Every structure is written in C-alpha cells, then in structure tokens.
Amino acid sequence: MKRFVRSTFVTCATALALATPATVAHAESQESAGGQTPAPACLTYSPGWRYTFVSNDCSTAHRVKVLYGDGMDVPCQEVAPRNWFTFPGYGTEGNTIKGMVLCDHADGA
C-alpha cells in the first residue's frame, strides 16, 4: 500500500510540475527590460527553479542576458540561430525571472 501511495504522489507531483505556468516559454515584455534593449519575439525563455532555457528561433545569433528579480547579474551569452542556452533558474529562495534583454558586444563575457 505504501508503494502505491508513494508512486501516486510522485506521479501527481510530476504532472503538476509539468503543468505549471512557470515552465511555459515567455516572450520578453517591454516593461521588464528597463533601459536595456528588449529581446525580439523570436527569442523566448522558459524559467524553472534550477535552469532557465533561452531558445533562439531567429535567423541570426543574439547575445542575451536573463534578468532576475533580486538583481542577480549573469554574463551575456550568445545563442546561435535555432539553438538554446541554459541560464541559472530562479532558485528556491523566492527569486523571479523578470525577462530577457539583448547585450551589446562590449557587455559581459
């Protein structure tokens, strides 16, 4: 009986995690970019607690940076066309992903 309850709990928890809106790919919004150049609509991100995946469906490469609610600064990364890159997730301490911006070639590594 314990095995059935445990496997049912794991199955339900997995289904709930997959259905959470936080895992849906988001397009960058203008207001979260602040004074930085917002990413075009062909760049999307999918936030999670451990990783944030940035997908490039554009025809050219773009240097991007993910913006975090607590101000955590991560280096800019180049994402090739039709490819993706992994940034840190929002973690377990209540941080949030605010959006994504384009980087100048002089920004970050």
CA distance 34 to 37: 8
Task: Check pLDDT > 60 for residue 2.
Answer: no
User: Would 8 be classed as within a structural domain?
Assistant: no
Q: pTM for the whole thing?
A: 0.64
- Scored b (16 or more CB within 10 A) or e, 1-23 reads eeeeeeeeeeeeeeeeeeeeeee
Q: Which domain holds residue 26?
A: 22-102
In a domain, 14, yes or no: no
pLDDT band at 46 (very low <50, low <70, confident <90, very high): very high
- Domain harbouring 82, CATH code: 2.60.40.20
Q: Is residue 98 part of a domain?
A: yes
